[in-house]
Structure 1
Amino acid sequence: MHRIAAGIFWCNALAMLAIGLAFVTADRFFPFHGDVIQMAWSGLELPFQTLYLGMMRTEGAGYLATALALAILLLIPFRQNARWATWAIVSIGIVEHLPTFLATLHVARTTAASPPWIATGLLMVSLVCGLILALQKSDSNS
């Protein structure tokens, strides 16, 4: 169970790494951003492009920092079966995902855009599944 939980947590960390890199390296907003404001990237004036990229890089940096935190927790205390590390991994992951989930869900409900709220929600659910599996492992060894 511990290995399955670790796999789930690693998948989450890698997804966060990918999301973070996508946001940090983007040179324009994503298609769903344009759908929300009903404007193409080329139609935005430079100050608005700068603002969007700044916000995207901030979001990306948060995901990269969270991916790094999860990796450190997984490599050291989680591997040593420290029960607190499981709670830390799940808490840190949800703290990163939840605002994004709520924002993208709101956008999906109030506009014609299709932001990735389902993927973010599934990542949160996977963290909870990992928590349940890891705690079952811990409880069965007690």
Structure 2
Amino acid sequence: MNISVAYLAGILVAATALSACSPPHSSEAGNPPSSTTTQAATTGQAKPANPGTGIIEATTMTSCDTAPGKVTAKGTVTPPAGAKGTVKITVSWVDSKTSAVLAHGEQTFKDAAADESLDWVINAEISKPGVDVKCVLGATVL
């Protein structure tokens, strides 16, 4: 009986090892397995070493170009009282249908003073014509 248990354990180990090497199976019948890799949606659980403090409420975007070619976004930021550090403004130009980032830019202000209005300008280039582009604003104190 010991030989049978050892034999069965060996088969299970071999089967597990082989299944780890197999390509993923498609969930739809008739479709070959895909070689693309997908990532799980961000859950907010993992945090970078210095995530910063969001100050989007203190930030405005007064204009943002969306036509293909060179684009510019402009606005102001007023760091709130008690905010100390580097202010980082980001703008992403995003395909409204696929959420793909077509262009991205940022501007930073080192040692920005609280309650002082700062004008920001971010330039980038969109090379994909015929896409409905939306501007996405971000602001953080690092």
Select the structure with the greater relative contact order (CA < 8 A; seq sep ≥ 6): 1
TM-score range, shorter chain: under 0.3
Higher helix share: 1
